[in-house]
Amino acid sequence: MSLDVGDLLLQTVPFARTLGITFDSAADGRAVCRLPDRSDLHNHVGGPHAGALFTLAESASGAAMLTAFGDQLNRAVPLATASTVRYLKLAKGEIVASARLLAAREEVVGRLDAGERPEFDVEVEVRNEEGTVVATLTVSWTLRPSR
């Protein structure tokens, strides 16, 4: 696929640009992105604000989703429908989110072909610069057929 997923997300989600999120990789239902260590993103205990961590993880999930289903954008709109987040440790320094699609592409596209509105999950691990998992997130997505 010739779609540059990182560029697409940064063009269509201005808040991710505001936070300074960058994309390391996005392919085959997986994506990795980074949040810089900036004092204007910190909370009252000196780490990235929970909202910044969530946005990083949700951006990674969207990139992973688009690597699998970006070719379906002409007939369906991807929408996040729910998410579950667990903040495990205080995050410090540059933060990296790694996302992976938990569904089989063929099954999701098959359901879309059948006229259904498929739902599927993307799992994300958020790590600090030492590699320690500081948060986990599961984002539920749907492909809403275009009208």
Cα distances (angstroms) measured from residue 33 to each of 66, 84, 87, 108, 127: 14, 19, 18, 24, 11
Bridge partners for 99 per DSSP: 31, 124
For the chain, the domain total comes to: 1
pTM over 0.85: yes
For residue 126, the domain's CATH number is 3.10.129.10
pLDDT of 2 higher than 90: no
Q: Phi first, then psi: what are they for 91, rounded to 5°?
A: -85, 140
Contact present, 115 and 108 (Cβ < 8 Å): no
Between residues 4 and 116, the one the model is more confident about = 116
Cα 98 to its chain centre, rounded Å, is 8
Nearest to 142 by CA among 119, 122, 121: 119
Strands 119-127 and 76-87: unpaired
pLDDT in tens, 36-76: 999 999 999 989 999 999 999 999 999 999 999 999 999 99
Q: Name the residue range of residue 87's domain.
A: 5-145
Query: SS3 string of 38-92?
Result: CHHHECCCCCECHHHHHHHHHHHHHHHHHHHHHHHCCCEEEEEEEEEEEECCCCC
The mean pLDDT value for 80-100 works out to 96
DSSP 89: S
Q: Residue 104 pLDDT > 90, yes or no? A: yes
> CB neighbours of 4 closer than 8 A, spacing ≥ 6?
none
User: Which residue is associated with the tokens 């440790």?
Assistant: 89
